[in-house]
Amino acid sequence: MSVLSLRRTRAAAAIAITALVGVSLVACSSGSSSGTSSDTSTGSSAGGAAALDAALAKGGDLTYWTWTPSAKAQVDAFEKVYPNVTVNLVNTGGAGDNNLKLQNAIKAGTGAPDVVQIEYQSLLQFVLPGDVLDLTQYGFDSLKDLYTPGPWGAVTSGGIWGLPQDSGPMAMFYNKTDFDKYGLTVPTTWDEYIAAAKKLHAADPTKFIANDTGDAGFTTSMIWQAGGRPFVSDGSAVTVNLQDSGSKKWADMWNQLNEPGLLDSVPGWTDQWFKALSDGSIATLVTGAWMPGVFEASAPDGSGQWRVAPIPTYDGTPVTAENGGSSEVVTKQSKSPELAAAFLRWLNSDPASIKVFLASGGFPATTADLSSSAFIDQESAYFGGQKINQVLVDASKTVAPGWQYMPWQSYANGIYGDTVGKSYLNHTDINEGLKAWQDENVTYGKDQGFTVKTN
């Protein structure tokens, strides 16, 4: 067998030819676009809204990317009301794959859908480079009062970039069976929570008050609740301060669970985790109000064991934060922006659509639904007949204002495990982990051309 040669004599010619092809491709393809300014919109609101209605009457085709379970039912309902419009629904599986495909399509300059689901935390990443259509021109500001302040704030910063689909005010889901069995009282403050954690784990070392292997979304929401505002995004000027008083407050509190090993190391959103939720290994779950649907679907064996209570606080005053939640947006690439905007308007503000959404266990962002007595008084069989929405709606009213995400939040969350993960793994001070995370974020932000400060 002859030697492998790294001489590229003849192949050099071949490479040169393909290089020419490659270079011409580069010239054609759109790289990531420059510019940070948000689109300013023109045109009167009233004219904008009428244009949407006209587009609906005229009809056409749309592509809608989402991973919401109720999407198909919503699309079906929409097509019944507007038979001239055909919506091509694509289930993208989850936020990660969804964003990946969207990024690729944007980079290629073609292939992006008309309407796409984007989590609140990832919005800026698409808004800043100008990939999302500003909906102010279609009179969407008149829809402001339909939504609670948190979600609305998440989709509006220098423009109206989409409409909220749901919200996720945090509450505490707890396993009543465990609490009764081990004589725990439902905590209202974090100190009580920590006490309950110790009591539970001492009584039965296979049981834990909660699990946490490092969840950036959870951490940021908890910092939010503790009063921290570590991220400030103002165009290209960003502040990252994960050592502000709120961050420290949460980290010091959570250390009391992490360092003595009171947190289970089952990773969330795995089949092992669902098992643990079903059999009482995990006694509480502090997470967003969209969780009941997931309980019912994936932890059916836990039915009847769980209840909902307000999230514990530091000093007894009710306050909470949002965790997760998505919006839908219209992309700049859309060839039928008015039709897309009209569909979006129906999708996230029309009562018929929201009704379908709620039926599959979603938690609304609309004030009307949050205050409807039918919604509030619903009894949940899974939660032992408790009127869980009472707790969840109350939570939605205590969401602390003023929170912002970074323009590169998906990336930041992606590297959370690299940095803060060590603290969970080794049961050491989370503050140090947060500092490491902050440093990585500052480096990344500067690399990306932002001006980044740390206080």
Partner 1 sequence: MSAAVTDSGIAPRGTPGGRGTRRRRVTIAGASPRAHPVGITGGPSNRLTIVMALFTVYTLLPLAWLLINATKTQQALFSSFGLWFSGPFAFVDNVRQVFAFDDGIFVRWLGNTLLYVVAGAGGATVLATFAGYGLAKYDFPGKRAVFGVVLGAIAIPGTALAVPTFLMFSQLGLTNTIWAIIVPSLVSPFGLYLIWVYAVDAVPYEILEAARIDGSGEWRTFFTISVRMLAPGIVTVLLFAVVATWNNYFLPLIMLSDPNLFPLTIGLQQWNLRATGVSASPIYNLVITGSVLAIVPIVVLFLFLQRYWQSGLAAGSVKA
Partner 2 sequence: MSASAPPAVARRRPRSFVGLGFTAPFLLVFAFVLITPVVYSLYLSLFRDRLIGGRSFVGLSNYGHVLGDPKFWDGLGRVGLFLAVQVPIMLGLALVAALAIDSGRLRGASFFRMSVFLPYAVPGVVAVLMWGFMYGDQFGLAANLNDLIGSDVFRPMTPPWILVAIGNIVTWEFVGYNMLIFYSALRSIPHDLYEAAALDGAGSLRVVRSIKLPSLRPAIAIATIFSIIGSFQLFNEPNILRTLIPSVISTYFTPNMYAYNLSFVGQQYAYAATIAIVMGVVTAVIAYVVQLRGNREARS
417 binds, among partner 2, partner 1, none (CB under 5 to 8 A by kind): partner 2
Q: Output helix, strand, coil percentages for the chain, rounded to the nearest 5.
A: 50, 15, 35
d(CA 319, CA 225): 7
| Whole-angstrom distance, CA of residue 263 vs CA of residue 200 | 11
Q: Which residues contact 269 (CB under 8 A, 6 or more apart)?
A: none
Q: Which does 109 bind (CB under 5 to 8 A by kind): partner 2, partner 1, none?
A: partner 1
**Separation between Cα atoms, residue 248 and residue 2, nearest integer Å:** 64
216 to 255: interface string for partner 1, x by CB under 8 A: ----------------------------------------
Strands (E), 301-379: 306-309, 326-330
Cα distances (angstroms) measured from residue 77 to each of 70, 109, 252, 310, 354: 11, 31, 49, 35, 11
Q: Among residues 152, 179, 403, 408, which is the contact residue for partner 2, using CB under 8 A? A: 408
Sign for the CA dihedral angle at 46, 48, 51, 53 comes to negative
Q: Which of 174, 217, 185 is nearest to 391 (CA)?
A: 174
Question: Does residue 28 touch partner 2 according to CB under 8 A?
Answer: no
Residue 374 touches partner 1, criterion: CB under 8 A: no
With contacts defined by CB under 8 A, how many residues of the chain interact with partner 2?
55
Strand ranges in 267-368 using DSSP code E only, listed in sequence order: 284-287, 306-309, 326-330
Chain residues 43-72 in contact with partner 1, contact rule CB under 8 A: 65, 67-69
* Binding residue (CB under 8 A) for partner 2 from 23, 50, 54, 352: 23
76 binds partner 1 (CB under 8 A): no
Element (H, E) at 291: helix 291-298
Q: Which is nearer to partner 1, 11 or 425 (CB)?
A: 11
Query: Which is nearest to 267 in space by CA: 255, 259, 257, 277?
Result: 277
Give the footprint of partner 1 on residues 287-326 (CB under 8 A): 290, 293-294, 297-301, 324
> Pick from partner 2, partner 1, none: which does 408 bind, CB < 5 to 8 A by kind?
partner 2
Q: Does 271 bind partner 2 (CB under 8 A)?
A: yes
Is residue 224 a contact point for partner 2 (CB under 8 A)? no
For partner 2, the closer of residues 308 and 452 by Cβ is: 452
Of the listed pieces 137-145, 261-269, 336-344, 385-393, which binds partner 2 according to CB under 8 A? 261-269
Select the binding partner of residue 414 from partner 2, partner 1, none (C-beta < 5 to 8 A, by kind): partner 2
Give residues 84-113 in contact with partner 2 (rule: CB under 8 A): 100, 103, 107
CB proximity list for 321: less than 8 A, separation 6 or greater: 169, 170, 221, 222, 224, 225, 399, 400, 403
Point out which span in 1-9, 39-47, 137-145, 163-171 binds partner 2 (CB under 8 A). 1-9
Tokens of 121: 């935390």
Binding to partner 2 in span 37-66, by CB under 8 A: none
Which residue pairs, CB below 8 angstroms and at least 24 apart, start in 82-86?
82/56, 82/346, 83/59, 84/56, 84/57, 84/58, 84/59, 84/60, 85/56, 85/59, 85/60, 85/61, 85/339, 85/343, 86/59, 86/60, 86/61, 86/62
Task: Assign 452 to helix, strand or coil.
Answer: strand
- Does residue 386 belong to the site contacting partner 1 (CB under 8 A)? no
Per rule CB under 8 A, is residue 180 in the interface with partner 1? no
Give the residue with the Cβ less far from partner 1, 181 or 275. Answer: 275
Q: To the nearest whole angstrom, how small is the minimum distance from the Cβ of residue 206 to partner 1? A: 16
Q: Which stretch binds partner 2 (CB under 8 A): 60-68, 159-167, 240-248, 267-275?
A: 267-275
- For residue 295 the two structure tokens come to 């309980």
**Residue 69 binding result from partner 1, partner 2, none, given CB thresholds of 5 to 8 Å by partner type:** partner 1
Count of CB atoms situated within 10 Å of the CB of 290 = 20
- Those residues whose C-beta lies under 8 Å from the C-beta of residue 236, and which sit 6 or more positions away, are 36, 449, 450, 451
Q: Is 256 left (phi over 0), alpha (psi -120 to 50) or beta?
A: alpha
Select from 296, 328, 323, 294 the least CA-distant residue to 311: 323
Cα–Cα distance, 162 to 331 (Å, whole number): 10
- Minimum Å distance from CB 28 to partner 1? 6
Q: Decide if 153 contacts 164 (C-beta within 8 A).
A: no
User: In this complex, which beta carbon is closest to partner 1, that of residue 15 or of residue 81?
Assistant: 15
**137: contact with partner 2 by CB under 8 A:** no
Stretch that binds partner 2, among 81-89, 270-278, 300-308, 388-396 (CB under 8 A): 270-278
Residues in contact with partner 1 by CB under 8 A are 1-2, 4-11, 14-15, 22, 25, 28-29, 65, 67-69, 90-95, 97, 100-101, 104-105, 107-111, 113, 269-271, 274-275, 278-279, 290, 293-294, 297-301, 324
Applying CB under 8 A, the residues found at the interface with partner 2 are 1, 3-4, 6, 14-15, 18-19, 21-23, 25-26, 31-36, 100, 103, 107, 125, 128-129, 213-214, 236, 266-267, 269-272, 275-276, 281, 407-408, 410-411, 414-418, 421-422, 424-425, 444, 447-450
